[in-house]
């Protein structure tokens, strides 16, 4: 009996998603920019490795297409091929590399390089693997595959170029946990079944899942009255926003006239039944998060100083028939 092939990069997916993958369920369409981002990721990976080499470290890697996967599956990605075979499944992965000091070949560490957008980078700094369980599972598979339980994990902010080095000396996810999940998945797939898993609309993992269509609750059809009410509300909202823009423009024009009057007379005064105060060359000081990180302020200190507003329901809307943002 042939074994189920599971990419190590997918080992952290939920049981339902893994079942869908092995049963060849159709995936959701991927955005066109994703392939470009992956290509850019390879460039960032090379830059990280070159920097390590300049620091005197030895980096072992493979830039060629994996010959093992090429022979088996007709195609393969670059990286150091590793695999874990069990009765029902074969985990396959490609490590970014191995790294060690020039004079210490025995103390080898797994090298993993990730590049992220600015928002993703902040998520990483906040909880590291806690916000990226898929990466934790992937690295755990690498460790189990080659018996090396130390790693140098380098994450790069694609926007700023800032990097975060994270060194591990223990496996992030015990492999028996991964193995048990995959065995349950394989048993379900044998029966042509999907394992159930709680869908969380707030979870980034759920939102980005290739098989989210299997979990999104079915929308109940609306009656004609409700549809009409929503359409009217959308129209009223857009009209009010246009009127608000005009009102803001009127306010700004009026304030310029008042400012001119105060500059010509006195900056602080009482007149026309109003009290006025005009501060010239006023500035507002902000503390952008990326600036704080660049200045060496830790996430822990930022968490202590932050102030969280009361919760509210935030609405985002975009007119699909308009080219305006």
pLDDT digits 0-9 by tens, 261-313: 999 999 999 999 999 999 999 898 888 877 887 788 877 788 888 888 888 77
Compute the mean pLDDT over every residue in the chain, rounded to the nearest whole number. 88
Q: Residue 99: its pLDDT value, please? A: 92
pLDDT in tens, 210-220: 999 899 877 78
Tell me if residue 168 falls in helix, strand or coil: strand
pLDDT in tens, 121-134: 988 988 899 999 99
Query: Among the listed ranges 3-7, 28-32, 171-175, 178-182, which one has the minimum average pLDDT value?
Result: 28-32
Share of the chain above pLDDT 90, in %: 53
Half-sphere exposure of 81 (CA within 13 A, CB side): 13
Query: Among the listed ranges 29-43, 155-169, 244-258, which one has the minimum average pLDDT value?
Result: 29-43
Nearest to 123 by CA among 135, 132, 134: 132
Nearest to 59 by CA among 68, 67, 48: 48
Give the chain's domains with CATH numbers.
4-214 (3.90.320.10)
pTM value is 0.70
Q: Report whether 116 contacts 126 (CB < 8 A).
A: no
Query: Among the listed ranges 46-50, 137-141, 225-229, which one has the minimum average pLDDT value?
Result: 46-50
Q: Looking at residues 178-202, what average pLDDT do you find? A: 93
């Amino acid at each position: 009996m042939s074994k189920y092939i599971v990419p190590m990069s997918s080992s952290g997916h939920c049981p339902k998603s893994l079942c869908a993958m092995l049963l060849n369920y159709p995936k959701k369409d991927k955005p066109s920019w994703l392939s470009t981002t992956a290509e850019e990721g390879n460039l960032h990976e090379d830059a990280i490795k070159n920097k390590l080499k300049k620091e005197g470290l030895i980096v072992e890697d493979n830039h060629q297409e994996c010959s093992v996967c090429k022979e088996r599956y007709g195609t393969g990605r670059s990286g150091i091929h590793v695999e874990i075979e069990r009765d029902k499944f074969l985990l396959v992965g490609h490590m970014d590399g191995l790294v060690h000091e020039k004079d210490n070949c025995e103390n080898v560490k797994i090298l993993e390089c990730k590049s992220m957008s600015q928002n993703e980078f902040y998520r990483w700094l906040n909880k590291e693997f806690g916000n990226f369980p898929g990466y934790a599972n992937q690295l755990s598979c690498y460790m189990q595959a080659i018996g090396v339980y130390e790693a140098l994990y380098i994450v790069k902010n694609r926007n700023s170029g800032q990097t975060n080095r994270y060194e591990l000396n223990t496996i992030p996810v015990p492999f028996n946990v991964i193995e048990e999940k995959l065995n349950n998945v394989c048993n379900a797939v044998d029966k042509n079944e999907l394992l159930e898993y709680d869908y969380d609309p707030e979870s980034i993992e759920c939102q980005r899942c290739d098989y989210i269509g299997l979990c999104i609750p079915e929308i109940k059809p609306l009656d004609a009255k409700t549809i009409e009410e929503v359409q009217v509300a959308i129209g009223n909202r857009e009209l009010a926003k246009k009127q608000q823009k005009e009102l803001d423009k009127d306010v700004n024009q009026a304030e310029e006239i008042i400012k001119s009057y105060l500059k010509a007379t006195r900056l602080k005064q009482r007149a026309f039944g109003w009290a006025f105060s005009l501060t010239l060359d006023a500035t507002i000081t902000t503390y952008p998060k990326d600036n704080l990180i660049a200045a060496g302020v830790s996430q822990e200190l930022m968490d202590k100083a932050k102030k969280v507003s009361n919760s509210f329901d935030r609405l985002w809307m975009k007119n699909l028939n308009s080219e305006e943002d």
